[in-house]
């Protein structure tokens, strides 16, 4: 066997995980093994992508819930503040009317 052929065979054998001569069956088995590995990797990548999409959807839902909760809290606080402000304004107006009424009675009396 010429030296170049021996080197080529040795390189091929090393790369494929076997030593020595190949048969057509070995090559087919290696091809099948590589396809299974490739398909498995593709399936795993697909699952990873699905997981990523699911995580993104979950993150979006979580952000929505948190934003809704914050908005609800903000609206409740604004409502309480406006109620308190309204009550304070009403008390202030009533107080002002009472003061004005007292002042006008004092002037006229």
Instruction: Tell whether 5 is covered by a domain.
Output: no
Is pTM beyond 0.85? Reply is: no
Domain span at residue 75 reads 22-108
17 DSSP assignment: T
Give the tens place of pLDDT for each residue, 32-80: 776 666 666 666 666 677 777 777 777 777 777 778 888 888 888 777 7
Which pair of tokens denotes residue 80? 């309480």
- Is 12 a domain residue? no
The answer to whether residue 16 is domain-embedded is: no
In a domain, 100, yes or no: yes
Within a domain: residue 68? yes
45 is a domain residue: yes
* Tokens encoding 14: 């090393």
Q: Label residue 22 exposed, middle or buried (CB < 10 Å: 0-12, 13-18, 19+).
A: middle
CA dist list (Å): 26 to 8, 50, 52, 104, 108: 16, 36, 38, 113, 120
Residues 6+ apart with CB under 8 A from 17: 30
Total structural domains in the chain? 1
Has residue 9 been placed in a domain? no
């Amino acid at each position: 066997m010429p030296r170049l052929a021996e080197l080529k065979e040795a390189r091929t054998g090393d790369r494929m995980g076997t030593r020595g001569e190949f048969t057509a069956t070995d090559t087919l088995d290696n091809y099948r093994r590589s396809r299974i590995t490739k398909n498995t990797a593709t399936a795993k990548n697909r699952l990873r992508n699905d997981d990523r999409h699911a995580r993104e959807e979950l993150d979006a839902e979580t952000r929505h819930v948190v934003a809704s909760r914050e908005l609800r809290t903000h609206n409740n606080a604004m409502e309480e503040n406006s109620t308190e402000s309204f009550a304070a304004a009403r008390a202030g107006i009533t107080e002002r009317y009472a003061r004005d009424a007292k002042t006008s009675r004092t002037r006229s009396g």
